[in-house]
Homo-oligomer: A and B are copies of this chain.
Amino acid sequence: MPETPPATAPDPRLTFGIFNEIGIIAQLSRTMFEAHLPKGAGLPHFSLVNHLVRVRDGQTPLTLARAFQVPKTTMTHTVSGAVARGWVDLRPNPDDGRSKTVWLTDAGRAFREAAIASLAPDMTQVGAALDAATQAELLEKLTQLRVFLDAYRDPPKGSSA
């Protein structure tokens, strides 16, 4: 017996429209972001450095790949780009000879600071279009959706049986 009746099933086209808008916004926001980054730098580089600052550095590439929901090959590419630009360093993992660890450099931290400062006005502009309450609600629903997609594509190991 279903104790939560499925509060009206959405039209697939509605769902489709959501993904459509999300795709477009992702594209537009990416372009907006990259316009404020140093030439040749991509959003992935900023995201990587930002993550290392906010969480902690010294993580392995694979851990980072999981955090960003990208294949490890993509993370290899992103990390090597960040290394080439001097924003992170790679060191061997003392606990595992196959693995490496990713460390921030001073240049990496400076890059992040500059990017955030440069981005702030755009964020503020968006804030003028959607007030805090709306944004909070939006974020909440987006998070719901993301969590679902995570679980949907990558079934929890050992959930059944």
Contacts and interface: CB of A to CB of B under 8 A. Distances in A.
Contacts of A32: 149, 152-153
Contact of A22 (B8, B10, B132, B142): B142
Interface stretch (A80-88, A100-108, A123-131): A123-131
A6 B128 contact: yes
A84 to B, nearest CB: 23
A47 B26 CA distance: 15
A28 interface: yes
| Secondary structure type dominating chain A contacts | helix
A22 B12 contact: no
Given A8-B133, A137-B141, A138-B138, A22 B18 contact: no
Contacts of A144: 129-130, 134
Interface of A: 6-12, 14-33, 43, 47, 68-70, 119-120, 122-139, 141-146, 148-150, 152-153
